[in-house]
Structure 1
Amino acid sequence: MTASRPSSPLPTPGARAASLADVAALAGVSTGTVSRVLSRPNMISEATRLRVMDAVDRLGYVANGTARALAMRRTMTVGAIVPRFGSSSFPALVQALESTLAAGGYTLLLSAPEPRPATDTSILRALLERGVDAVALLGAEQPQQVLAMLGASRTPFVCMWAPPDASGSSIGFDEKAAAVLIVEHLRALGHRSLGYIGGRTADSERARRRLRDLKLAMAERSLVLRTEAVIETDHGFREGFEAMQAIARREPPVSAIVCGSDYLAAGALAALDQAGIEVPRRLSVASFNDNDFAPYLHPPLTTVHLPIREIGEQAGRQLLARLGAGSATAPVALPVRLMERASTGPAPR
């Protein structure tokens, strides 16, 4: 015969909020054990943890975050600033970052602002005033005011989607290696004259690096980037569609278009389909990112797989290590690889 579980009435509206002692009494453990289950569950046996969490759920217990933060001198939160969160690959990056931090007991506070002047530090200031224990930023080109604020507050930080460096604060991949994969692939297919649809270089360091590295890889292999077939725009399906329409109207002498993201490439493929321009027989299309939808476009998209989720995971591990909640090796350039599909083919005669 099994022992019956201690019973306790469920809380009613207006009743006193459940306390740590209430949870301990219902679970049949000490208040210290409850505290460890909520803050360091790896220190407690699975059976005890499940019993305590059952009591927490039944009582609707919510820890006093302010009191815990004062006691621990930590809020167990990490702030992240990721602009242009919408039509981009950043959701996958942030999801991986959040999952990694959650496994270490930390909550992610995300800010996804519209682009602002480089001197605007209001969002970072707001996160620091909320007491975040660490910060994840996007890109390597951070304003001096941001770095000064983080240094003055002694807040650990990492820069995601940035070329790895000796400091260990930058997590990313080799952009030039990604560009070389696409250029070598198109060159092997006989393409010599290319166009490009990418992000606005005035707004984004990632867009600047991507176009710069593509140009370098093309120049080293005697390929030509036609200026009349280059359009900078925002990343999105509609933007890619309209950019491809504009290039098609100009009828530049190109045999392939490289897109800065799969979102732009998806729009470009739709525009070519509507115009009756067959891909890849008349025009090849290649891209970067390898988003989940890339294999299901018409035709399936040739693209460079970028380690988007891995960037988020490695950033999370690096922050946890700096907060003393884990270990991490020095960041290295994450691998990239070409996903060759049906949107690219031999250059037409």
Structure 2
Amino acid sequence: MATTAGSGSPGRASLANVAKLAGVSTGTVSRALTRPEMISEATRARVLRAVEQLDYVANGSARSLAARRTMTVGAIVPRFGTSSFPIMIQSLESQLAADGYTLLLASPDHNDPRGPAILRTLLERGVDAVALLGADHPAQTFALLEAHQKPYVLMWGQTSRRKEVVSFHEQAAATLVVDHLHDLRHRAIAFIGGRTADNERARSRRRAMIKAARSRDIALPRGAVVESDYGFREGYDAMLELLGGELGFTAVVLGNDYLAAGALSALDQAGVRVPEDLSVASFNDNDFAAFLHPPLTTVRLPIGEIGREAARYLVGRLHGKPVHAPKRLPVELVVRASTGPVPR
């Protein structure tokens, strides 16, 4: 026997129990849980109170068969490490949850050879749509998605060949930081970025930095462009590597704030004053950037908004709404104490 309001008998509550307690029909309960936009907020709130009071759990299998949906979205995002991906994924999950969807996340290593096999597993689980990191995927990946007619979105990609990309203009981000250093009269800079061989975002950032520097007649001296894994220790080691040569630059730009934090530590231990001797700038504007010593000048990237926009785009597609290609999101330079005029 199902548990009902005021009774202490054990059992599993049914849709009818919830409807009776909320004073609505079973159809209204179903719509409140699966299509909340079809009913009033007051009615939905009443249904949700009844659901909570009865500890009601919907029969997902039956609902999926009836609706031909599982109310799940799959995402494939490489293992996080020291990265900003958790912010993006949390935003994606929260926005999907607000629309009644559950996120199934696959987090392989960057060099995982399984590739499309991971996507195939998500499709076998019946996901309604898929979110992928970046746009650099094998042709088989897109063939699978199209064969199964699954809406998909590419998060943080830099391609112009596909319309399903939620991202920002990498060139705009690089131009902001280079223009800032140019205005401070820096004419030679170094760049420490991620490894470009297997990282679409690292390749885009490096290309954008080189292009922005050239447009401002700012030199990147020989040996002043270093590739590294992303991380605090990696930034520390890469900065020491640059300091080991002749300093033919007056500012260094890091590919992300994790690298920058390590670099600032290396400069402090080497007795290089920031920004009096060397200016330091970066990308991302992670939470800790304002609390480094000195506080870090960095380009604020819309990492959380990428996740939210990706979710909105997928839900719109799933609900048959007319959706436009996701727009490129804005970036912003946050100037703090780590950058200053070129040393005299």
The bucket for the TM-score relative to the shorter chain is over 0.9
The answer as to 2:213 corresponding to 1:218 is: yes
2:50 aligns with one of 42, 48, 55: 55
Question: What's the % identity of the aligned pairs?
Answer: 60
Q: Which amino acid aligns with 2:175?
A: V
Aligned to 2:129: 134
Deviates further, 145-154 or 91-100: 91-100
Distance in 1 of aligned mates of 2:293 and 2:273: 11
Q: Which amino acid aligns with 2:5?
A: S
User: Is 1:164–1:333's contact at 8 Å kept on the other side of the alignment?
Assistant: no
Distance 1:11 1:195, change over 3 A: farther
Q: Which amino acid aligns with 1:298?
A: H
Aligned to 1:162: 157
Distance in 2 of aligned mates of 1:324 and 1:28: 28
Distance 1:67 1:227, change over 3 A: farther
The answer as to 2:269 corresponding to 1:274 is: yes
Instruction: Please state whether the residue corresponding to 1:163 is helix, strand or coil.
Output: coil
Distance 1:262 1:33, change over 3 A: same
Aligned to 1:336: 331
Instruction: Please state whether the residue corresponding to 1:35 is helix, strand or coil.
Output: helix
Instruction: Please state whether the residue corresponding to 1:232 is helix, strand or coil.
Output: strand
Q: Which amino acid aligns with 1:143?
A: P
Distance in 1 of aligned mates of 2:256 and 2:183: 22
Distance in 1 of aligned mates of 2:8 and 2:245: 70
Deviates further, 276-285 or 221-230: 221-230
Structure 1 unaligned blocks of 5 or more: 1-5
Distance in 2 of aligned mates of 1:117 and 1:58: 45
Q: Which amino acid aligns with 2:294?
A: P
Distance 1:50 1:222, change over 3 A: closer
The answer as to 2:94 corresponding to 1:99 is: yes
Q: Can you list the C-alpha shifts for 1:236-268, whole angstroms capped at 9, x where unaligned?
A: 112111211222223432211110001111111
Deviates further, 47-56 or 35-44: 47-56
Q: Can you list the C-alpha shifts for 1:276-332, whole angstroms capped at 9, x where unaligned?
A: 210001111011111122122111111111121221222112111211265544323
1:199, CA displacement in angstroms?
A: 0.6
Q: Can you list the C-alpha shifts for 1:135-190, whole angstroms capped at 9, x where unaligned?
A: 11111212101011111111110111123747531111111111111111112212
1:120 aligns with one of 110, 115, 120: 115
1:257 aligns with one of 252, 256, 275: 252
User: Is 2:135–2:159's contact at 8 Å kept on the other side of the alignment?
Assistant: no
The answer as to 2:53 corresponding to 1:32 is: no
